[in-house]
Structure formats: C-alpha cells, structure tokens
A and B are shown apart, each in its own frame.
Chain A
C-alpha cells in the first residue's frame, strides 16, 4: 500500500514568517493530495488540496506544490498568524480506491 511520510513533526515560527511542511509518498498511482488542519480537540478540516495534474495551487496565504517525479508535496503558509497554530496532516489517495493514507502530522506553533 501507500506510505506517506511527513516532516517536520514540530515547527515553531515567529508571527509573520513562513512555514513549510513536506510530505513524501511511495505509490506513483496516488493522484489526490489533501491537507487538513486540526485544532486541539477538534475534527480535521480541509484547508487545501491538489490533484496530480496540477503542480501548484494557492488560496490566499496557503499554497501547495506537487512534484510527481520526486513523489513529494509541500504546504506553504505565508505571513503566519497565531491562529495558524494547529496540527497539520497531509494525505494521499490512490486513483484505484477510496482509501486515504495520512502522514503523522506536524504541530505548528506561531509565536506572537
């Protein structure tokens, strides 16, 4: 099956700086890559996603890039704010099934 690795496990940045979280995947058949944000004690919520026919996608301060050749994708958050503090999960989905494979999460802390 698919194996998704996520780094770093913890990340601290100063407010206003950028944060980058990276994920790699193993199965070249994966074609959908969502990113979820989970605040303490709450459900994960989708913040951005990308499909394998696209190399980059932006939504205001958040962007995701995908390198299919290297099998890695990254989340970029610019101008970070304290409310960005949360755990972020990447995931990959193989085109032949409904199963999602999640990374182990990155705990982001934005220091005011």
Chain B
C-alpha cells in the first residue's frame, strides 16, 4: 500500500473557492493519473501525465487543472468553475505497460 500518498484525507470547500489536492509517489513511476469517483459511476479520468512537464486531459477535465513540475508530484486543483466537485478523488501512478497503483484518496465536500 505504500509508495503513493494523498493529502488531505478530507477536504471541505466553500463555493467559489479553489482547492488543491496533493499526490506524491516514491515509486519512480513516469505516469501519474487523477480520477474522480462518484457512486455508481466507477472511475472517471480527469488528467494524466506520462512525463514531467507534460499532461493530457481526460474525460472530465473541465473545472480542474494540474501541474507536473517534478516526477514525484502531481497536484490537482479543483477550481470554482467545477460546479459539482463533491466526490472521492483518487491519484494513481504507473510504469510502462503495467498496473496502476492508487493512493488512499481525498474526499472533497462542498459546503
């Protein structure tokens, strides 16, 4: 279970506020991912990065932004443009044509 961490575990946001979710990995993986999980909808890809300083939009990128300045870190910002941000957010990392390893998740709630 170790190797990829997310913080905070719980996060509360007021409407109109930007918040940033942290994701760090020490697995030396090139690729990192952000998913959103809602009940009954599985995992939906927000953004992914295959290498430092490069990232691509996933299926639901609107209202989110990312950066990949270091190999170990892939923070996700949930902006005020995301109208329904309450969800469970999962970060993952992977290398080559192998499995993804998931972080413990951040539960974001809008007040």
Contact = CB atoms under 8 A, between A and B. Distances in A.
User: Do A and B associate with each other?
Assistant: yes
Interface in A70-92: 89
A7 to B, nearest CB: 13
- Which 6 A/B pairs are nearest by Cβ-Cβ distance? A104-B42, A43-B102, A102-B43, A98-B31, A46-B99, A105-B42
Interface residues of B, number: 24
A9 interface: yes
Interface string A2-24: 00001001000000000000000
Interface of B: 1, 31, 33, 35, 40-45, 48, 50, 58, 90, 94, 97-105
Contacts of B58: 99
10 contacts: A43-B90, A44-B43, A44-B102, A45-B102, A93-B97, A98-B50, A102-B35, A102-B42, A104-B40, A104-B41
A43 B103 contact: yes
A103 B94 contact: no
A70 B41 CA distance: 24
B99 A43 contact: no
Nearest to A95: B97
